[in-house]
Structure 1
Amino acid sequence: MSPTPPGCSPEELRTLFLFEHLTPEQLDWLCREGRVQEIPTGPVYAEGAPATCFYVLLEGSIVLSRRVGADDIEVTRTSQRGVYAGAFRAYLSDRLPQVYSSSLRATVPSRFFVLSSETFARLMREWFPMAVHLLEGLLLGAQVTQEAVGRRERLLALGSLSAGLTHELNNPAAAALRATAALRERVAGMRHKLGALATGSHPLAGMEELITLQEDAAEQAAAAKAVSLAPLEAADREDAVDDWLDGRGVTDGWQLGPTFVQAGLDTAWLDRVEAAVGAAKLEGALRWLHYTVETELLMNEIEDSTSRISVLVGAAKQYSQLDRAPHRVVDVHELLDSTLLMLAGKIPAGVAVVREYDLTLPRIPAYPGELNQVWTNLIDNALAAMAGSGTLTVRTARDHEQVLVEFRDTGPGVPEEIRERIFEPFFTTKPVGEGTGLGLDISWRIVVNKHHGDLRVESEPGDTRFRVTLPLGEGAPDGDPAAGGEAADEGEGDRNARAAV
């Protein structure tokens, strides 16, 4: 038997939870193949470098960090003996890239037990051959399954959102199309009436006054969308205008009255028209001016419809984060509003949406595209729980040094017996074919692993609240939340006990 290298003690290794059940022969082997290394305050290894060593903390204090843009963001800080880091997946060989997925730094002079990645891989494969096969299958199989189902869930959500967006876009587009067709007819009629008026024997001053009245009418009609009359007031004005037109013998005057009232024109304006053109030409002048007013009102409708389309397209870009940096400082209210707008087509008529926003909240650093995915999952679950009727309340507030985003529904609630399982992958209460069971799992990973926030549920019949808290400062260093990885392991502490740092 080869002598144990100085500094490595099988007795000390046995005091660590990682090695406490090994045999004396195995502990001796570890001390022969490995080494105890003292590392001064400073870096141990750097993110992205080849993963050459497996480190177990014997004594000291360490910090694990991840790179986000130009900054190193702290993930974990611990002094617990036996925590491990580095190449602890070396047994996967070339199945996964063997690079350090984080940076490790000693905050005080520290002692580590160190194995090379090759030795660690050999240990795992020789000592635990069946366990290695099981771990490979579990890790790689779960990763592939989660990626496949996660893609399917994103595609299903995209299809649903696309259908809703298409519906929302169709209404203003159809309105603009109808208004454009009507506008063409009104312009043709206006040209015809103008020609008829021009052939008459009107004094020049009268025509100038008529043109002035036309400009006034156009300005009134263009500004009409900013004024909203109460139904009773509008009816009274229409009656007054109809009486005025009937009193002058205007044929079918009731067809002209509502348009004039909609544009904000009254009997005083009609008196000015009569004074400008005289009784003989009054009806022709009124119909010409009616075409002018209708033209302006139709242009208002086209402007409103195209503005609505522009808002919807802007919301779609905000939701999908097209042409945006993946990680940036955002206003959570903008993200919430874009998600609610994208989901508007899925919200039943019987569900009221209430926004309770704290608009004093600061902007926060985040991955906005993925937070929108969280909002979508939580809103979709709330709508499903309410089954077509109820109230969805979206609330934001400051919670100490965090931002709180709360989704509250008035559905029947989450039964206590399954409340602890709803964040598990593939767990769903929906019928077969209606849910993948990954929505809340993916949301949990995005919030907890990727943003270092928290996601939890509080529920009783008629009051279920999913509460998302996000740090006000930098704190989003992780990679794909659905793909696993070292940082995903670190973030699992609340759901599954783990020793890796």
Structure 2
Amino acid sequence: MTVTPCAADELRTLFLFEHLTADQLDRLCREGYVESVEPGVLYREGEPATCFYVLIEGEVVLSRRVGNEDVETTRTSQPGVYAGAWQAYLGDRVPQLYIGTLTVTVPSRFYVLAATGLGAIMREWFPMAVHMLEGLFFGFHNTQVAIGQRERLLALGTLSAGLTHELNNPAAAAVRATASLRERVAGMRHKLEKIAGGRYDRATLETLIKLQEAAAEQAAKAPALSPMEASDREDAVGDWLDEHGIAGGWDLAPTFVAAGIDPDWLDRVIAVLDASGEPDPTILDGAIRWLNYTVETEQLMSEIEDSTTRVSSLVDAAKQYSQLDRAPNRVVDIHDLLESTLTMLTHKIGDGIRVVRDYDRSLPPVPVYAAELNQVWTNLIDNAVDAMEGRGTLTVRTAADGNRVLVEIGDSGPGIPAEIRGRIFDPFYTTKPFGQGTGLGLDISWRIVVNRHHGDIRVESAPGDTRFQVLLPLAPGGE
């Protein structure tokens, strides 16, 4: 590396300086210098931006860090191209860091100016231009922030509507089951009143209690039946009840069948009530109805338990999704985040889309900003669902990829045309109808994955098979 004084005549040959006055060129030469550089890295992304570089001759490559790799963004030998601390005129209002890595590929010469000198010259020579650039820079930044907030609010609105719907279903089921349970308990109290009145002797009462316990156990382990199987069994139980003089047997049959009670089981009731096989019809009728109340009560309590468990699961999923009570950065099982997002989007996904989970459960926990990463899953899944228009297959896959974790969100929609595939991560670019998308969903996702997590996000698409792939480093900072 060799430093030499610069010449105004040489600077004037560079397009960046060709319209400056002689005095301005002289000042640039007084405050700057020419540096000859051998091939290698001139500065690295993220380091303090101390100098502004203008290429006089040679070749340079500008690259950005994506995950564990440096991705080349520019390669040029054009004299006059510049890089480095070009945002120095903004001062300390923005972080003064190099936003890429500059590599010299052949012996090259640069005009070099300290960042402080560039900032002072810009403000003195071009005050109006500086104000306009500041307005453009911060205006664009504020617009991105505002629309990004709107994007998050839109997503929150969608999730809130879906969560409200999902919570309403089990809550309503629990209310209905509670009302029905109150009726059944009242019926059991009525039967208990008759029992207390001496209608049943001690031995019969003890037998009824044993049958009640057996019926409750049977209801707990009842198998799931197809509609055809249930109909056939209801016919058989209804016939049995009619044959034994039980009034309204066809109303009782569905409850018994749902509990796994069939005619053979009911024959045991007769055998227990009267060893001779000819029990008092009144006692048999009372016993059957008592058992029916028991079974209905068990079923209603199970329904209430299932409903409240579902509500609790939804609340836990919302808590996991929002990460409101967690540290912003922590080590998590990536599958927990995916599952909480799928739960939150259940209503949006709907019944017409089949969700396929292809998880590698052996993956280790990953250090992430969980709430932000959940926004990525929301954007990708939401886009996949929209692409399929309510019908298709949503595939969520995880796998190891070297020292990174791969999360893939796939859909069976029409695919992304090749001509726009390179633009989908651009801010404000959207294929959705006006008013239905901000064009920042994928841009935000890219920033969260690449800038925030030092990972990578890419897409592969063909008709019927579109896959967004997110790669996250297993070590903090992508090390």
Specify which of 424, 443, 453 is matched with residue 441 of structure 1. Answer: 443
**Which of 207-216 and 442-451 deviates more?**
207-216
Secondary structure, in 3 states, of the residue corresponding to 2:407? strand
Describe how 1:141-156 pairs up with structure 2 within 5 A: 141-156=139-154
Gaps of 5+ in 2: 36-42, 55-64, 76-80, 102-110
- The 1:145–1:20 alpha-carbon spacing in structure 2 relative to 1, beyond 3 Å, is closer
Amino acid of the structure 2 residue aligned with 1:180: T
Match of 2:38 in 1: none
For residues 70-469 of structure 1, what are the structure 2 equivalents within 5 Å?
A: 89-93=87-91, 96=93, 115=114, 117=116, 119-224=117-222, 227-274=223-270, 275-276=272-273, 278-279=279-280, 280-469=282-471
Native 8 Å contact 1:414 1:464 kept in 2: yes
Unaligned runs of 5+ in 1: 1-5, 38-43, 59-65, 67-72, 105-111, 478-501
Range moving further from structure 2, 347-356 or 268-277: 268-277
With over 3 angstroms needed to count, the CA separation of the structure-2 counterparts of 1:124 and 1:57, relative to structure 1, is closer
Task: Give, in angstroms, the shift of residue 400 of structure 1.
Answer: 2.2
Asked if structure 1 preserves the Cα contact closer than 8 Å seen for 2:68 and 2:455, the reply is no
Q: Which moved more, 1:298-307 or 1:131-140?
A: 131-140
Task: Provide the rounded CA distance (Å) in 1 between the counterparts of 2:422 and 2:128.
Answer: 31
Quick one: structure 1 residues 319 and 232, their matched pair in 2 at CA, closer, same or farther if it must change by over 3 Å? same
Q: After the TM superposition, which of the residue ranges 186-195 and 211-220 deviates more from structure 2?
A: 211-220
Query: How far did residue 120 of structure 1 move?
Result: 3.5
Name the count of aligned residue pairs.
436
Q: TM-score, normalised by structure 1?
A: 0.76
Q: Is the 8 A contact 1:207 1:276 kept in 2?
A: no
Evaluate the alpha carbon distance shift between residue 198 and residue 298 of structure 1 in structure 2; reply closer, same or farther with a 3 A threshold.
same
In structure 1, what is the equivalent of residue 60 of structure 2?
none
Contact 1:366 1:476 in 2 (8 A): no
Describe the SS at the equivalent of 2:371. Answer: helix
TM-score with structure 2 setting the length: 0.79
Q: Which amino acid aligns with 1:246?
A: D
Which AA in structure 1 matches 2:344?
M
Deviations 1:346-372 (A, max 9, x none): 124332222222222222111111111
Aligned-partner Cα distance in 2 for 1:374–1:167: 23
- Kept after mapping to 1: 8 A contact 2:5/2:33: no
Match of 2:5 in 1: 9
Q: 1:69 aligns to what?
A: none
Distance verdict in 2 for CA 1:229–1:460, change over 3 Å: closer
Distance (Å, rounded) in 1 between the aligned partners of 2:360 and 2:354: 19
The alpha-carbon deviation at position 391 of structure 1 amounts to: 2.1
Counterpart amino acid of residue 266 in structure 1? D
1:194 corresponds to which letter in structure 2? L
Distance 2:352 2:301 in 1: 33
The answer to whether the 8 A contact 2:410-2:465 is kept is: yes
Say if 1:329 and 1:25 are closer, same or farther in 2 by CA, change over 3 A: farther
Shift, 1:413, TM fit: 2.0
- The aligned amino acid for 1:250 is I
How far apart, in 2, do the equivalents of 1:446 and 1:258 lie? 54
> 1:116 and 1:426 mapped to 2: Cα distance?
32
Q: How far off its partner does 1:272 sit?
A: 4.1
Contact 1:426 1:438 in 2 (8 A): yes
Q: Secondary structure at the match of 2:457?
A: strand
Aligned to 2:58: none
TM-superposed CA distance for 1:201, in Å, is 4.4
> Tell me, what secondary structure is at the counterpart of 1:465?
strand
Equivalent pair of 2:88/2:96 in contact (CA under 8 Å): no
Q: In structure 2, do the counterparts of structure 1 residues 452 and 25 end up closer, same or farther at CA, with 3 Å as the change threshold?
A: farther
What is the aligned-residue identity percentage?
61
* Displacement after TM superposition at 1:30 (Å): 4.8
RMSD across aligned C-alpha pairs, in angstroms?
A: 3.9
Indicate how the Cα distance of structure 1 residues 202 and 379 shifts in structure 2: closer, same or farther if over 3 A, else same.
Answer: closer
Question: Which residue of structure 2 aligns with residue 109 of structure 1?
Answer: none
Contact map agreement 1:35 1:115 (CA 8 A) in 2: no
Contact 2:52 2:115 in 1 (8 A): no
Greater displacement, 201-210 / 445-454: 201-210
Offset of 1:373 from its aligned partner? 0.9
1:445-486, Cα deviation, whole Å (9 max, x unpaired)? 111111111112222222222222111211279xxxxxxxxx
Q: Residue 466 of structure 2 aligns to a residue in which SS?
A: strand
Amino acid corresponding to residue 372 of structure 1 in structure 2: N
1:350–1:289 distance in 2 versus 1, CA, 3 Å: closer
The 3-state SS of whatever aligns with 2:426 is coil
Equivalent-residue separation in structure 2 for 1:171 and 1:411 (angstroms): 29
Relative distance call for 1:77 and 1:347 in structure 2 (3 A) is closer
